[in-house]
Structure 1
Amino acid sequence: MTEAGNVVLAGRSRRLLMSLARPYRSLAVLALALIVIDNAAMVSAPLFIAHGLDTGIARGAEGDWAPLAWTVTGYLTTVGIGVLTTYFFLRVSGRLSQSVLFDLRVRLFAHTQRLSVSFHEKYTSGKVVTRLTGDIETLQELLKGALDQALSAILSVITIAAILIYLDQLLAAIVLVGFVPLALVTRWAQRRQRAGYRRTRVAIARVVVQFVESMGGIRAVQTFRREQRNESVLAVEDGEFASSTIVAMRGMGDYAGLTRLLGNLTTVIVIVVGAWQVIEGNLAVGVLAAYLLYLNEFYGPLDELAQVFNSYQSAAAALEKISGVLEERPSVPEPPDPTPLAQAAGAVRMDHVWFGYGTLPGAEPDRDGGGRVRAVLPEFSLDIPAGQVIALVGATGAGKSTLAKLLTRFYDPSGGTVTLDGVDLRALSDADLRRHVVMVTQEAYLFAGSVADNIRLGRPDATDEQVYAAARAVGLHDFVAALPDGFDTDVRKRGGRLSAGQRQLVAFARVFLADPAVIVLDEATSSLDIPGERQVQQALETVLRERTAVIIAHRLSTVAIADRVLVLEQGRIVEDGAPAQLIAGAGRFAGLHAAWRESLV
């Protein structure tokens, strides 16, 4: 990545962190004040020691113990203040860091849910899990412990540097000269470690993706004996993560070793020069002792900063990934001033619509085939009167599922308009659109929880009686009532307690309860056996009654309930008519129907 790109990423990460900390400014100020007090107490301690050595002991030998008593009292007071400020700082900083992390998790989760389907189709769930867990945990490590160390160390270095200059300018010059190579080493290590930790974030994301996909498809993994192959792939990805981490830690070791070497060399030079000044009578022994104590306190924080620097580089790389997700924008944004649509009759129109994956709205289609992007739907127009049920049939890749995504506005057309009762879908609020247009897919997704909760998903405020009525309408009520806990029975993960047909009936009950004007069915019965399909078919007729519906189906038995059939080829309508009319003809649908009938014999 270029230097300019690194600057952009770092700036984006800092802006995100500042926006998260802004609501907690008062806590941040209090934490800073506690660090200042703690630092003041810490840097005062060697001054008391110097006073005791140069004044307290000499006066004590003369019988005056007051200076030594004040020295001891002052030193113990600074220790007590340090204990109290550390205790309260840890409480304040813990509350601050956890509040920031809580807000970040909520913001990231909420934003990811709002992003369009196109984002989730290219950005795997494993990467999202990594952003929500591993990356945030890395940031937590920085905020939990390193925040205290970093702020205290920086303040200590500044204040101790000022005191060193005050005590002896010559020795201070030696210390400050040592900062030149230290600054160069720090800059070198920053670039090296940031690049290393960027690789670790990418590598761990790949590990999580491999794990999530393997566990999510465990049936296919075991069916096709893919365990060893998956283990090999995971070993490669995990090995890349391990090697990237080792490289980053090696850089940390190099940095810590070099800073310690520079610190020790500087200390040796200070001892030699300081001892010479004491011998020459230009420096008191107590001052030299205090100077060496301060120098130890000076390089101690630098060692801590080296550790913090390592945590910071890792957290910065994680924050770059998180901020990248937060800067993603929905490809189908909600309009700023939506057109209200309280009631919908269900008339749908597609006017000169064209669509190509990877294109932007308003772009021109590739009509001559010379470009890289081809239109899946070239200049597609369709009128569906309110209440009409149409079926879309055609070979795989004909554009059926693309039509479904456009009708439900999971994608916006690259050109043309899709309207509901004359209103462009892009002008409708998400609430109005999802209330009036509902999609049922081949895999009826059920969430872990009760049957009633899964039906109520279509209308969260529905009463129990309304839920029961919806189940009764699709022929599901008696089956659910016979379950151990009735409608309170937990369907388990992805509805695993129910059969495919039962899950589909729950999905239809959900739609019936939502009462939309338009229903889009995308292969909703293709995974069912014949008895299950017949049961779902009866429920389907109930759900579609007096509603506009678009049915995408390979099984022509589902098409029989349609008022109208459209046969698609390469994104174009090649046949359009009533099922009986097309069956009686000699076109493509008649051939498909004849082949289907033969397959049943």
Structure 2
Amino acid sequence: MSVVGVQGEERHDFTKEESRQIRRRSLRLLGSLLKPLRWQVAWTALVVTVSTGAQVAGPALIGYGVAEGLPALLDQDWLPLAWAGAAYLATAVVGALLVAVYIRQSARISQAILIDLRKRVFLHTQKLSLEFHESYTSGRIISRQTSDLDAIRELLDSGINQLVQGVLYMTFTAIALVALDWQSGLVLAVALVPLFVLTRWFQQRSQVLFRRSREASAKLIVHFVETMTGIRAVKAFRKEKRNEKEFGDLVEDYRDVNAKVIQVFGVYDPGLVFIGNVTVAMVLLWGGFRVVDGSLAIGFLLAAVLYTRRFFDPMEDMAMFYNSYQSAASALEKISGVLEERPSVPDPVRPVDLWSARGDIAFDDVEFAYTDDRVVLPAFDLAIPAGQTIALVGSTGAGKSTLAKLISRFYDPSRGAVRLDGVDLRDLHPKDLRRAIVMVTQEAYLFSGSVADNIALGKPDASFDEIVAAARAVGAHEFIEGLPNGYDTDVNKRGGRVSAGQRQLISFARAFLADPAVLILDEATSSLDIPSERAVQEGLTTLLADRTAVIIAHRLSTVAIADRVLVMEWGRIVEDGSPAELIGGEGRFARLHAAWRDSLV
């Protein structure tokens, strides 16, 4: 399934065939979650069946006690009444104990399903390719892990209990009523007609509204996450007022759809009460006439009235279950859509091992296009010998970062092959690929934890001395020592905050410690000021030594350390040579260098 397919689930104008496919996909996911728990589910079903049967036996025992026990008591025979009382007490105790067992078992099953589902979503989204994450907003991913999983949790924690117990309770009650007095059962059967019409109306109306409610909730979360993530841009461009209006509109939409849901319940709940009360009245009236003519014992009339009343008791709970069910079904559809996604950069079926890479990079007749009509890199060949430092230069949108991402195998070429030491990257073992090729981007993301933890990301089993050595090599040791707790400083705590340039130095140390055969710096010095950039040049020289390096930079000062310069325009390499050769010429790079030199003056 494509990324567009998942994003398309935000709409609600599916064809019947699309809706069937989505339901089948959701059912497959649910089946895979339940399969490891099938024996626990079977045991739980048995427990709740026996428990419900014990609870339903109560009115029949009361009817027997009134019909048989009271007349016998008048004749000084207390045994029938005692038997009815003891049996009623026994069924109550058994029912209560089994309900306790059922609640514990259902809780274990629901938590096992939720843990499995949370892990699946987290692990699967990590495996998906960069293309997916660039198309699927972070707010929507967070919505899958939060509000959508919470909707499923609510269904599993209480909704399933309400459904199973309600269906069994109503079924057993109807059977008991027919067995006790078939004429009262016939009255109940007639009442099922308006009950079915009302319930069907409720299902159709609520199904649409609950789906809209989930969508409105997801939009709220997406807007909030994106606002908080981009809070610097919000402050810089004074977007608070616009955000207030946009968020206010989303809140209003969410409130309106929930108000309509409440209105539907406002019709359904009183309708249930009305139908239930009319049915009880009819059973009582019809039964009363038969008690008068002696064809029905008053005790059994009492039992029939109790059964009729109890038949309608679970209906409101089942309506609430339908509320939970609609929310959870919509959530499960979205989650199953994400889990159906397949990486556009799949792992090889038969991976080739490359334990020690030299760093030779070759592009063989490579073409790359995001879509058929959007070719970013027209067909080209390129060879980068091991140990050579390449600088990629060109205007924004020239294709520099795309070329670098092909080397890192964030994307696969649409045609041709990218090879490392003669091995197609699509065939290379993922561990060997990630060990051999490392990219440092301008974001220089730091994870929660200490500075040392963030540097050790490049080599998790590194010793503290190795971490310090990596920081010294790129010129980061001095500022790290100046932090409140040195290498143990938490980068997310007050006092542990580091500047953009310092984050970049930490990312350099991380890359140095990883010791890749191929290192890619994608605008990696863009966050550094001129003094910091000059200070890190020596560290960069150390970092790039004895390895293949590809540097993408707008600052031509960074290019000076390169052995070779590739100038790109419109996805094509238009110039190729050493910095000195290109500066001495009259091409694109010479003009860029002259403009940069004039800017310094």
Q: For residue 463 of structure 1, what is the aligned residue in structure 2?
A: 463
Q: Is the 8 A contact 1:115 1:329 kept in 2?
A: yes
Aligned 1:430-449 pairs, distance under 5 A: 430-449=430-449
**Counterparts of 1:552 and 1:221 in 2: how far apart (Å)?**
29
Counterpart Cα distance in 2 of 1:140 and 1:582: 63
**3-state SS of paired residue (1:427):** coil
**Which residue pairs with 2:176 in the alignment?**
163
Given candidates 85, 89, 103, the residue that maps to 1:72 is 85
- Aligned equivalents of 2:353, 2:462: Cα separation in 1: 23
Supply the distance in 1 between the matched residues of 2:348 and 2:269 (Cα, whole angstroms). Answer: 53
Q: Are 2:308 and 1:295 aligned?
A: yes
Which AA in structure 1 matches 2:406? L
- 8 Å CA contact 2:367–2:379 kept in 1: the answer is yes
Is 1:141 the counterpart of 2:157? The answer is: no
Shift in Å at residue 496 of structure 1? 6.8
Question: 1:154 aligned to 2:167?
Answer: yes
Does the 8 A contact of 1:252 with 1:310 survive in 2? no
Cα distance between partner residues in 2 of 1:426 and 1:184:
58
Instruction: Show the counterpart of 2:595.
Output: 595
**Per-residue displacement from partner, 1:24-58 (whole Å, max 9, x unpaired)?**
23332332222122212111111111111111000
1:109 is matched with which residue: 122, 132, 136?
Answer: 122
SS of 1:376's partner is strand
The aligned amino acid for 1:183 is: F
- Asked if the contact 1:200–1:244 (Cα under 8 Å) also holds between the matched residues in 2, the reply is yes
The residue that corresponds to 2:395 in the other structure is 395
Residues 216 and 253, structure 2, Cα contact 8 Å, conserved in 1 = yes
Give the Cα–Cα distance (whole angstroms) in 2 for the partners of residues 169 and 519 of structure 1: 83
Matches within 5 A, 1:301-320: 301-320=314-333
C-alpha deviations, 1:525-582, integer Å up to 9, x for none? 1222101111222211111111111111111001111111111111111111110001
State the alpha-carbon separation in 2 of the partners of residues 45 and 136 from structure 1.
Answer: 38
SS in 1 for 2:358: coil
| Structure 2 counterpart of 1:414 | 414
1:352 aligns with 2:365: yes
1:124-165 per-residue CA deviation (whole Å, 9 max, x = no partner) reads: 111111111111111111111222221111111111121122
Aligned 1:50-449 pairs, distance under 5 A: 50-359=63-372, 373-449=373-449
The letter of the residue matching 1:51 is Y
Summarize the Cα distance change of 1:253–1:8 in structure 2 as closer, same or farther, 3 Å threshold. Answer: farther
Distance in 1 (CA, whole Å) between partners of 2:257 and 2:413 is 42
Quick one: distance in 1 between partners of 2:385 and 2:563? 11
Give the equivalent residue in structure 2 for 1:366: none
Deviation at 1:483, TM superposition (A): 2.8
**What letter is aligned with 1:277?**
R
Q: Root-mean-square deviation (CA), in Å?
A: 1.8
Distance 2:277 2:31 in 1: 37
Partner amino acid, structure 1, of 2:549: A
Inter-partner Cα distance in structure 2 for 1:119 and 1:170: 63
Distance across 2 between alignment mates of 1:217 and 1:265: 59
2:206–2:261 contact (8 Å) kept in structure 1: yes
2:400 partner letter: K
For 1:500-579, list aligned pairs within 5 A.
Answer: 500-579=500-579
Q: Provide the residue aligned with 1:364 in structure 2.
A: none
Which moved further from structure 2: 439-448 or 245-254? 245-254
Paired with 2:62 and 2:560, the residues of 1 have a C-alpha distance of 96
Residues 446, 494 of structure 1: 8 Å contact kept: no
Alpha-carbon distance in 1 for matches of 2:71, 2:342: 73
Secondary structure of 2:539 counterpart: helix
Instruction: Name 2:51's counterpart in structure 1.
Output: 38
Q: Secondary structure at the match of 2:370?
A: coil
- Report the counterpart of residue 3 of structure 2 in structure 1: none
Cα distance, 1:241–1:86 mapped onto 2, change above 3 Å: same
Q: CA deviation at 1:441?
A: 0.6
1:592 Cα offset (Å): 0.5
SS at match of 1:428: coil
Structure 1 stretches lacking a partner, 5+ long: 360-372
Structure 1 residue identity aligned to 2:598: E
Q: Which amino acid aligns with 1:512?
A: F
Q: For 1:537 and 1:199, locate their aligned partners in 2 and report how far apart those are by CA, in whole Å.
A: 55
Partner of 1:87, secondary structure, is helix
Report the CA distance between 1:171 and its aligned residue: 2.4
In the alignment, the residues of structure 1 paired with residue 74 and residue 340 of structure 2 have an alpha-carbon distance, to the nearest angstrom, of: 71
Compare 87-96 and 516-525 and name the one that shifted more: 87-96
Residues 1:215 and 1:165: Cα distance change in structure 2 (over 3 Å): same
- In 2, the alpha carbon distance for the partners of 1:168 and 1:484 equals 82
CA distance in 1, matches of 2:338, 2:39: 29
Instruction: Say how many residue pairs are matched.
Output: 588
Q: Which range moved further: 468-477 or 434-443? A: 468-477
The one-letter code matched in structure 2 to 1:138 is A
Q: TM-score, normalised by structure 1?
A: 0.94
Of residues 238-247 and 498-507 in structure 1, the stretch that sits farther from structure 2 once superposed is 238-247
Q: Give how far 1:293 is off.
A: 0.5
* TM-score normalised by structure 2 residue count: 0.94
- Over the matched positions of the two proteins, sequence identity in percent amounts to 54
Equivalent residues of 2:489, 2:496 under 8 A apart = no
- Measure how far apart 1:488 and its partner are: 1.1
Q: For 1:493-545, what per-residue CA distance to the aligned partner results, in whole angstroms no more than 9, with x for missing partners?
A: 79971122221111111111111111111111122210111122221111111
2:594 counterpart SS class:
helix
Distance 1:475 1:554 in 2: 22
Task: State the distance in 1 between where 2:394 and 2:125 align.
Answer: 34
Gap change, CA 1:541 and 1:495, over 3 Å in 2: farther
Inter-CA distance 243–430: structure 2 relative to 1 (3 Å threshold): farther
C-alpha distance in 2 between matches for 1:564 and 1:494: 43
| In 2, Cα distance between equivalents of 1:32 and 1:312 | 19
Q: Distance in 1 between matches of 2:564 and 2:495?
A: 33
* Distance in 2 between residues matched to 1:18 and 1:495, nearest whole Å: 50
Query: 2-side partners of 1:106 and 1:279: how far apart?
Result: 66
Q: Which amino acid aligns with 1:246?
A: A
Structure 2 CA distance, aligned partners of 1:249 and 1:344?
64
Post-superposition offset of 1:180: 3.3
2:200 maps to a residue whose letter is R
- 2:11 is aligned to none
Equivalent-residue separation in structure 1 for 2:496 and 2:344 (angstroms): 33
Equivalent-residue separation in structure 1 for 2:495 and 2:448 (angstroms): 7
SS of the aligned residue for 1:551 comes to strand
**Aligned structure 1 segments of 4 or more residues deviating by more than 6 angstroms:** 493-496
- Deviation string, structure 1 residues 365-422 (Cα, Å, up to 9, x no partner): xxxxxxxx22111112211111111111111111111111111111111111111111
State the 1:206 CA deviation.
1.4
For residues 296 and 117 of structure 1, do their structure 2 counterparts lie closer, same or farther at Cα, with a shift above 3 Å needed?
Answer: same
The AA in structure 2 aligned to 1:36 is T
Aligned residue type for 1:98: Q
CA contact (8 A) 1:445 1:494 kept: no
User: For residues 561 and 299 of structure 1, what CA distance do their matches in structure 2 show?
Assistant: 82
Residue 356 of structure 2 aligns to a residue whose secondary structure is coil
Stretches of structure 2 that go unaligned for 5 or more consecutive residues are 1-13
